[in-house]
């Protein structure tokens, strides 16, 4: 639904060049909620502004719903007719709501429809329908100053939906809100995604947001996407920074002569007694250093950091057993037990040979 290829944005600022985007390839599928996360200055807002051509990329292409926006003429407020039409099918939600204080809630929602030249009656009908959708039917005649932050953001979302967009872009829509309100606004975005089949690209610096609503996520650093995929894929990728951030499990080794392993459980594996099987099968004592269980995108996922006695070489077989059970097992480097876990590749372990064969 949204594809960027080789997207680059270089700003000229007081004679200096700032590369905000450095070859970003992003692919957001139809109907998914896609989160982009990264530290301040990573280029997240530049990315979203390039996706709807509020900023013209320095190079690269942006395709939304099959249309190459970069091929359309104009930029910013001087966009050509075709670009304006394409943009009206992309809704945008802002961190600070950007509502007009002198207009009522209803008039704020009607604003984009006015610009599109929709008649007064039709505008009012549509605005009231959207306010109902975001749970604010009773606030139509109120002014933004009379609303709470969460209510203002609901108005912002209703306004973003006025042009019946297929795509909603959101830049830190919840970062000015308290945790409770954040949850309800995220739930609204999720409901809209499911009810209207809306594709949502959201920018955030909060991992909780990704955990709560995103199907897929990308991590940006210095203008580049350094990791991306569905949350499930990321959690199954050894050494994934995003996975580690989504599921931080702490705990350092109790001594030098032990092996620390991060184990990730998905789906039906969460219900199996794998750790006790491991302990019985190999007769090892296992210490649990840390653990976390959560639901991500409707799936149960667990992470556990365990400690096995003996060095890595002595634990190749038990680690192989965990992997054979369909679990992800990453050996944590004792030098760097923090974030992200450095991965020591383990050779694929064969099951212990049967006694009979060993005699032959």
Ligand X SMILES: Nc1ncnc2c1ncn2[C@@H]1O[C@H](COP(=O)(O)OP(=O)(O)OP(=O)(O)O)[C@@H](O)[C@H]1O
Interface ranges with Mg ion (CB under 5 A):
45
344 binds ligand X (CB under 6 A): no
User: In whole angstroms, how close is the CB of 6 to ligand X at the nearest point?
Assistant: 17
Separation of alpha carbons 58 and 47, rounded Å: 12
Q: Which stretch binds ligand X (CB under 6 A): 33-41, 182-190, 264-272, 283-291?
A: 33-41
Structure tokens at 312: 């890595």
Separation of alpha carbons 265 and 232, rounded Å: 11
In order of 24, 26, 45, 100, 243, the CA distances from 42 in angstroms are: 12, 15, 9, 30, 19
Q: Which lies closer to ligand X via its Cβ, residue 10 or residue 344?
A: 10
User: In whole angstroms, how close is the CB of 221 to ligand X at the nearest point?
Assistant: 10
Q: Which lies closer to Mg ion via its Cβ, residue 133 or residue 177?
A: 177
User: In whole angstroms, how close is the CB of 295 to ligand X at the nearest point?
Assistant: 27
Place of tokens 């210490």: 287
Tell me if 112 sits within 8 A of 162, measured CB to CB: yes
Separation of alpha carbons 188 and 184, rounded Å: 6
Task: Classify residue 315 as exposed, middle or buried by CB count within 10 Å of its CB (0-12, 13-18, 19+).
Answer: buried
Alpha-helical regions (H) of the chain:
44-51, 81-88, 105-115, 120-133, 149-160, 179-196, 207-213, 231-235, 241-246, 274-282, 316-324, 355-359
Q: Order of strands across the sheet with 299-309?
A: 287-296, 299-309, 258-266, 328-332
**Size of interface with ligand X, in residues (CB under 6 A):** 13
Q: Which lies closer to Mg ion via its Cβ, residue 20 or residue 274?
A: 20
User: In whole angstroms, how close is the CB of 324 to ligand X at the nearest point?
Assistant: 41
4 binds ligand X (CB under 6 A): no
Which of 35, 38, 57, 318 binds ligand X (CB under 6 A)? It is 38
Q: Which lies closer to Mg ion via its Cβ, residue 45 or residue 258?
A: 45
Q: Which lies closer to Mg ion via its Cβ, residue 225 or residue 261?
A: 225
In order of 5, 122, 190, 300, the CA distances from 26 in angstroms are: 7, 37, 21, 27
44 binds ligand X (CB under 6 A): yes
Which does residue 46 touch among ligand X, Mg ion, none (CB within 5 to 8 A, set by kind)? ligand X
Q: Which stretch binds ligand X (CB under 6 A): 23-31, 44-52, 111-119, 273-281?
A: 44-52
Q: Which stretch binds ligand X (CB under 6 A): 12-20, 152-160, 255-263, 317-325?
A: 12-20
328 binds ligand X (CB under 6 A): no
Which of 103, 183, 190, 205 binds ligand X (CB under 6 A)? It is 205
18 binds ligand X (CB under 6 A): yes
Separation of alpha carbons 219 and 227, rounded Å: 5
* C-beta atoms surrounding 96 within 10 Å: 14
46 binds ligand X (CB under 6 A): yes
* Binding interface with ligand X (CB under 6 A): 11, 13, 18, 20, 38, 40-46, 205
């Amino acid at each position: 639904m949204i594809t960027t290829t080789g997207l680059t944005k270089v700003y000229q600022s007081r004679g200096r060049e700032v590369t905000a985007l450095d070859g970003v390839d992003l692919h957001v599928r139809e109907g998914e909620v896609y989160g982009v996360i990264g530290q301040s200055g990573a280029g997240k807002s530049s990315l979203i502004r390039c996706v709807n051509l509020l900023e013209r990329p320095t190079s690269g292409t942006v395709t939304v719903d099959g249309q190459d926006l970069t091929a359309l003429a104009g930029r910013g407020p001087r966009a050509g007719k075709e670009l304006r039409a394409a943009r009206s099918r992309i809704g945008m939600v802002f961190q600070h709501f950007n509502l007009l204080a002198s207009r009522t809630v209803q008039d704020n929602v009607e604003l984009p429809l006015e610009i599109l030249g929709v008649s007064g009656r039709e505008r009012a009908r549509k605005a009231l329908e959207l306010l109902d959708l975001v749970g604010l039917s009773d606030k139509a005649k109120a002014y933004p100053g009379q609303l709470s932050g969460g209510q203002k953001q609901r108005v912002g979302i209703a306004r973003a939906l006025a042009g019946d967009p297929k795509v909603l872009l959101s830049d830190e829509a919840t970062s000015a809100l308290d945790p409770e309100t954040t949850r309800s606004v995220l739930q609204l975005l999720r409901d809209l995604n499911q009810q209207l089949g809306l594709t949502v690209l959201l920018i955030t610096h909060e991992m909780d947001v990704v955990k709560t609503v995103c199907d897929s996520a990308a991590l940006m650093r210095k203008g580049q996407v350094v990791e991306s995929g569905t949350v499930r894929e990321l959690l199954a990728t050894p050494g994934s920074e995003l996975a580690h951030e989504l599921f931080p499990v702490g705990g350092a080794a109790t001594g030098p002569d032990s092996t620390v392993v991060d184990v990730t459980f998905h789906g039906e594996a969460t219900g199996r007694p794998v750790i006790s099987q491991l302990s019985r099968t190999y007769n090892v004592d296992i210490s649990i250093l840390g653990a976390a269980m959560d639901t991500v995108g409707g799936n149960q996922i667990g992470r556990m950091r365990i400690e096995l006695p003996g060095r890595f070489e002595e634990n190749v077989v038990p680690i192989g057993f965990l992997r054979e059970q369909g679990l992800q097992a990453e050996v944590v480097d004792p030098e760097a037990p923090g974030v992200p876990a450095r991965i020591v590749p383990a050779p694929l372990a064969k099951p212990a040979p049967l006694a009979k064969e060993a005699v032959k």
